Amino acid sequence: MSTPTRTPLPGAVVLSAAVAAALVTGPASAQSADPQGSGPILAAANWVQGTLLGNVATAVAVVAVAVVGFMMLTGRLNWRYGITVIVGCFVLFGAAAIVGGIQAAARFAG
């Protein structure tokens, strides 16, 4: 007896839901100053950001894209999975610009 398979939501629906959720929260969730006692947490978050966007991460991403691109061209990797890796690198390194665009759209709408 076979088990029924779930079909994932289309990417456009998930993306539009995420953008709508970001726009609905609006200025109510934005804080103008850091809360008292958040110094160590903020320092840890800045360290993680520096690690994820630093020179080592950039070198690893370049090697990953090169390897995945070579495997896609030689037919050893499905194009869909290869594109996923490349888009993931764009999202990781472009996260600040993506968030800035969402915040600008929220300010414009509100």
Helix (H) or strand (E) holding 16: helix 11-25
Q: What does the block give as tokens for 9?
A: 């939501």
DSSP 91: H
pLDDT digits (tens, 9 = 90+) for 44-56: 988 888 887 888 8
Tokens of 79: 């194009």
Would you state the structure tokens that stand for residue 4, as one six-digit string? Answer: 């029924």
Q: pLDDT band for position 39 (50/70/90)? A: confident
Cα distances (angstroms) measured from residue 1 to each of 4, 7, 86: 10, 19, 38
Q: Is the pTM of this model over 0.75?
A: no
pLDDT tens digits, 6-35: 544 444 444 455 544 444 444 555 555 677
- Read off the pLDDT of residues 65-89 as tens digits, 9 standing for 90 and up: 999 999 999 999 999 999 998 898 8
The pLDDT of residue 1 is 55
User: Which single residue is written with the structure tokens 């414009």?
Assistant: 108
